[in-house]
């Protein structure tokens, strides 16, 4: 997933992909849309989770549980360390914020890229069957 991919490039890829899906036979197209409707994630929900919850809960929405656990652990350790008087814990918190900030501002694009990748996987799976 490329965070700084131009939005126009993503839109072109999505449009080409829609054309490929429309070229499928009706039965495969129906199967594709049935599976896709279950697996796609709403970009607005992902953005809201990213904006309103600390600790990486938005990663759970996309099924990235390991990344969620890592971020939550770093957050808990850094906040606990800071309140226990370890001034160096603030640097860990700053690193976490620096990592999360671009994800916060590009959350819509991240969810759209996830949906594109998921749709491509579904497309390949349906085409093989």
- Encode pLDDT of 58-91 as tens digits: 999 999 999 999 999 999 999 999 999 998 899 9
Distances (CA, A) of 84 to 76, 77, 116, 128: 12, 10, 44, 57
DSSP state of 23: T
Q: What percent of the chain has pLDDT over 70?
A: 99
Q: Please state the pTM of the whole predicted model.
A: 0.88
């Amino acid at each position: 997933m490329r965070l700084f991919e131009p939005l126009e490039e993503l839109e072109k890829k999505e449009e080409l992909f829609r054309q490929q899906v429309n070229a499928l036979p009706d039965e495969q197209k129906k199967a594709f849309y049935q599976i896709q409707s279950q697996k796609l994630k709403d970009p607005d929900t992902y953005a809201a989770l990213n904006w309103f919850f600390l600790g990486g809960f938005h990663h759970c929405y996309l099924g990235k549980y390991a990344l969620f656990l890592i971020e939550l652990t770093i957050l808990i350790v850094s906040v606990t360390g800071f309140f226990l008087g370890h001034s160096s814990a603030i640097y860990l918190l700053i690193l976490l914020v620096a990592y999360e900030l671009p994800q916060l501002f590009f959350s819509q694009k991240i969810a759209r890229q996830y949906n594109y990748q998921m749709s491509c996987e579904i497309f390949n799976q349906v085409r093989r069957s």
